[in-house]
């Protein structure tokens, strides 16, 4: 019996009714665009978080994790901002949000096994939320996994758990990726209307690999920097008289920028508007099989995030510069920034050499050893 089911049996004295799982993600491009009503292009990772679960007769949630030595018990009706605290907020918050959305949910016994690297900017929290949401949908007969609309409802509940219970003011990209991304495809996500398009993404046909490097530099989305970027975008949109920065036509960007009162707001706006435009340029380049152009756009995105949005850091820049110096077609930070992971587009034959060069550059700079691994586009939340 797998360790997850074994632990469940030992903890709850019964076998789980099922096991559900959901993936982490890397975003190919479209960073800090989701809360601006913009476009993003994530893929689901092969790394998944599993959730073994059974329904209870009461309104208690009993939550245990293979990775944490803690066992948390909370009543669904007691879940509120900051309660429970820590990682269990992502589990309890999902049940809370589904109940708020009008779905009849009760208590659950839950054991989770998180295989998405923690704190690496690869959306381990969204993977956890979405694995629990998938379990709840099936166990309470909600049927929300069966359609794209239903999956969007689950993704929205997961985002609400993160925003309102865990207190991280994130957009919805990570949860949408975990619910909608499919194998061998990138997900073009329109964050204004929630529309999704599957874009074929199979680098092996080009003898290329997507190398992810977890810099292991700490990042925390709940800290002030992410929220400060969001606030700047809302302020700029307000001054420009639009609902979202998405509404600024890239061709009219210069006219918009002169209306903004300071350089910080101008740079934040320039990043968002140019980054949204780069998403469809990458989609077109992928469809044309022009991977050199994809690499060029990755680099433009990184420069914009580093210089205009100011969310990169020494470690992320070092991965990008080293990978490119070693012949990568392009590289960029991925996710919220301030640490976390970077991605590089690398010839399959060069993966080990580029990974070793990144490790050597970190050692020379006396930084914590990074972890590099190549990934392919995997599938969405599902029952195992």
Rounded to whole angstroms, the Cα distance separating 1 from 200 reads 36
335 contacts 41 by C-beta, under 8 angstroms: no
| For ligand GLA, the closer CB: 334 or 355 | 334
Q: Cα(first)–Cα(last) distance of the chain, in Å?
A: 14
Rounded to whole angstroms, the Cα distance separating 176 from 195 reads 10
Q: Kindly state the smallest distance separating residue 284's Cβ from ligand GLA, in Å.
A: 21
Binding site for ligand GLA (CB under 6 A): 27, 31-32, 34-35, 170-171, 173-174, 221, 335-336
Of how many residues is the chain composed?
384
| For ligand GLA, the closer CB: 27 or 304 | 27
- Of 169, 99, 76, 88, the residue nearest 125 (C-alpha): 88
- Of 155, 199, 192, 193, the residue nearest 177 (C-alpha): 155
C-beta neighbour count of 33 within 10 angstroms: 28
249 contacts 373 by C-beta, under 8 angstroms: no
Q: For 290-327, b where at least 16 C-beta lie within 10 A, e where not — what string?
A: ebebbbbbbbbbbebbbebbbbbbebbebbbebbbebe
| Selected catalytic residue, list 113, 138, 174, 214 | 174
| For ligand GLA, the closer CB: 265 or 272 | 272
- HEC profile of 78-111: HCECCECCCCHHHHHHHHHHHHHCCCCCCCEEEE
47 contacts 122 by C-beta, under 8 angstroms: yes
Rounded to whole angstroms, the Cα distance separating 18 from 1 reads 13
34 catalytic per annotation = no
How would you class 360 by CB atoms within 10 Å of its CB: exposed for 0-12, middle for 13-18, buried for 19 or more? exposed
| For ligand GLA, the closer CB: 16 or 117 | 117
Strands 108-114 and 60-65: parallel
Residues marked as catalytic:
174
């Amino acid at each position: 019996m797998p360790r997850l089911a074994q632990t469940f049996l030992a903890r709850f004295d019964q076998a789980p009714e099922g096991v559900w799982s959901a993936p982490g993600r890397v975003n190919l491009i479209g960073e800090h665009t989701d809360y601006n009503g913009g476009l993003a292009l994530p893929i689901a990772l092969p790394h998944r978080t599993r959730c073994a679960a059974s329904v209870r007769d009461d309104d208690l949630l009993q939550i245990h994790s293979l990775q944490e030595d803690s066992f948390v018990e909370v009543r669904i009706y007691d879940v509120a901002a900051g309660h429970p605290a820590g990682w269990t907020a992502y589990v309890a918050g999902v049940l809370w949000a589904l109940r708020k959305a009008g779905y009849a949910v009760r208590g659950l016994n839950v054991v989770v096994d998180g295989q998405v690297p923690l704190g690496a900017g690869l959306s381990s929290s969204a993977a956890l939320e979405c694995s629990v949401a998938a379990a709840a949908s099936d166990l309470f007969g909600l049927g929300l996994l069966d359609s794209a609309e239903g999956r969007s409802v689950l993704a929205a509940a997961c985002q609400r758990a993160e925003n309102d219970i865990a207190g991280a003011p994130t957009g919805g990209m990570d949860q949408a990726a975990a619910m909608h991304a499919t194998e061998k495809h990138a997900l073009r996500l329109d964050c204004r209307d929630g529309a999704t398009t599957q874009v074929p993404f199979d680098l092996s046909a080009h003898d290329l690999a997507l190398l992810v490097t977890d810099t292991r530099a700490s990042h925390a989305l709940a800290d002030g920097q992410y929220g400060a970027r969001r606030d700047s975008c809302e302020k700029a949109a307000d001054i420009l008289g639009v609902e979202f920065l998405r509404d600024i036509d890239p061709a009219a960007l210069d006219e918009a920028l002169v209306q903004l009162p300071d350089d910080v707001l101008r740079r934040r706006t320039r990043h968002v508007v140019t980054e949204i435009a780069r998403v469809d340029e990458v989609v077109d380049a992928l469809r044309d099989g022009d991977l050199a152009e994809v690499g060029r756009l990755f680099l433009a995105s990184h420069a914009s995030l580093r210089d205009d949005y100011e969310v990169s850091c020494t470690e992320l820049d070092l991965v990008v510069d080293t990978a490119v110096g070693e012949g990568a077609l392009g590289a960029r930070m991925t996710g919220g920034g301030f640490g976390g992971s970077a991605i590089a587009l690398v010839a399959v034959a060069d993966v080990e050499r580029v990974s070793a060069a990144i490790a050597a550059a970190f050692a020379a700079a006396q930084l914590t050893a990074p972890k590099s691994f190549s990934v392919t586009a995997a599938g969405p939340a599902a029952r195992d």
